[in-house]
Every structure is written in structure tokens, then in C-alpha cells.
Amino acid sequence: MIAIDTRWIGAHGIGRYAAEVIGRLRVEWEALDAKGNPASPIGVLKRPTTRSGKGIGLLYSPGYMGFRGVTQQIVTVHDLIHLQTRWPQRARYLAYYEQFLKPLIRRNGIVLTVSETSRDAIREWIGDPDVDIVNTGNGLSEAFTVDGPASAEGKPYFLYVGNLKGHKNVEVVLRALAFIDDFSMVMVCGDSDGARELTARLGVADRVTHVSGVDDATLAQLYRGASATVVPSLIEGFGLPALESLACGTQVVYWKGCPSVAEICGPHGISVSGADDAQEWAFAMTNAAGLPAPNYDSSPYSWPAVAARVNDVLEGRQA
């Protein structure tokens, strides 16, 4: 029996990947009988069971956490951001990745990921040519298209979609906003209180609108109405906001040193060379606002195709 850790299902990031993929799988599977945060390292010590009590032949996780006591496991490592953050944050994850996750992947001989950028990083980290690193890709909701209504804010605005973690580098675009008088910003962020505190500290609170809990249709309207979407991330495993924005016909401004976002954008968007240079960001953002809508082909990013690739892996391992 294939068991799946469905606790990862959520609105964005890994949660979106889990929801879109699991719901499209053709193989017979059961959900784990597990509770709590799937990203908690404490959970790896538990011996999981299925809700029906049947034995687990193969365990599939759409996230990066596995379990002790399960012989066959396939995990999905979307990125290695945890290993690229600064100390002391990195110390929280280092033991898990090196002492548990790496041996688990080597033992099973396979790991899934979502981009060529992450595939290259994992290949270097895992250090074992016999491990099959499968890039299943990432998908795009049908809501994110050029066609459809656009949000009508009173003032032209730039859009930021993401959290406030350090690798998102969001401060630089807020500092850049201080140099641009004719634009405001809309921040779609789950941590509205943290975002308000940050914008107040940087002196741009009166020019930023905070939004959270939006569905895909509303988010697509925000993309379509924006003068440009800013993606200042230093590290990403994929970079979904860049894809969603381009699919909605809105330019993207991003740091050129983030390879996964550059992989998505290709010849589109404007890249900034200075990750922390607010004046350069302000110049790039202003220029992006004057560019025509990108003619972006989003057809390679299909959730059914992603799910089919995952399904093929599971079928092959089940046989």
C-alpha cells in the first residue's frame, strides 16, 4: 500500500504542490494517520500507520520530511534553502538534513524536486551518482492567465507575494519604494502584523496595502493590475510568484543571482544585479512599469503533467 503524508496540503508553496499533485494521482493510496506539523523534525521519530491500519509498502511525502521505521520512502526536496541560511538558523536543520535525510535518500536511491536549479543543488549536496534526482516540475493554477479582470487600485502599484523570511529579501523593495513617489505597493503576505511592523520601520507604511488569505482568482486580479511584480529573493527552489505574474501578463523584477527565478523568467522581466541596492531596484521597478506586457508561454507548467510524473515514479517503485 502506498501511504501519503497529506498533512502538507495547504494554500501556497509546498502546500499548493501537495494539494495539486495528490488530488490527481492515479495510483491507489491511503493517507497517513498522522497529526501535527509535517515539517517538525520530532515527527521523524514516530512510526507512521495508515488510517485503515494497513501496512505501508511505500511512503510518499510531497515535502522533505521522512520517518524512521519505513523501508521504502520517496520524499520531495523542493530546495536546500534551510542549508543556505545564516547561522544560527541553519543549525536548526543541519542535523536533520545530514544525519537523517541524506541517508534516507541514498538508501532509497531517489528523491523528487521541482526545478533544474534545485536538481543541480541536490546533486551536489547528496554526493551520490547512483541517486535518481527526478525533477517533476511545478504547475500553474488555471486562474493565472492574461484574460480576466484586473485589480483597480487608486495609485499604480507594485506587487509582492511571499513571506518575510530572510531569504525573501523583501526589505530592499520596500526601501526602493521610498525613492519612487508615483507608486504604491501591495503586499500579499500571511504575516500581516509582521508586514505592517516592517513597513512602519522603513517609513513606507502609508504607501503599502497589506492583503492576506486571498484565493487564486483574487490574486490573479492583483497580478493583472500591478505595474510589475517584485521577486527580490536571494534563494528559491522554484519561484511561483514570478511564474504566476508572467502568466497574467505582468512584468517581473528579480535579482539576477537567484537561478531558479531566472530559470522561470528566461528572456522576460528585468534582472537586478545588486541584491541589496535599493536605488538600483527603484530604477528597475520604474522601468518595468513602462514595459509592454510579456508574451509568456506558461504551457510547460501544468499540474496534470506534474502529477503524472509523480505517479509514474510511484508506480515504478510499487512494481
Neighbour count for residue 247 (Cβ, 10 Å):
23
pLDDT per residue over 203-251, tens digit each? 999 999 999 999 999 999 999 999 999 999 999 999 999 999 999 999 9
Q: Which fold has domain 2-139+302-318?
A: Rossmann fold (3.40.50)
The conformational region for residue 270 under phi > 0 = left, psi -120 to 50 = alpha, else beta, is: beta
pLDDT at 122 over 80: yes
- Rounded Cα distance between 302 and 161, Å, is 21
Quote the CA–CA distance of 43 and 36 in Å, as a whole number: 8
pLDDT for 88 equals 78
63-87 confidence digits (pLDDT tens):
999 998 899 999 999 999 999 877 7
User: Domain 157-289, what fold?
Assistant: Rossmann fold (3.40.50)
- Give the closest residue to 146 by CA, choosing from 299, 294, 312, 310: 294
**pLDDT at residue 189, rounded to an integer:** 95
The pTM of this model reads 0.90
- Range(s) for CATH 3.40.50.2000 in the chain? 157-289
Burial of 277 (C-beta count, 10 Å sphere; 0-12/13-18/19+): middle
Give the residue-averaged pLDDT of 261-281.
97
How confident is the model over 92-104, as a mean pLDDT?
Answer: 93
Given this model, what pLDDT does residue 49 score? 86
Tell me the sheet residues that pair with 110. 132
Mean pLDDT (the chain, rounded):
94
**Angle, alpha carbons 195-200-205 (nearest 5°):** 80
> What is residue 319's predicted lDDT score, i.e. its pLDDT?
61
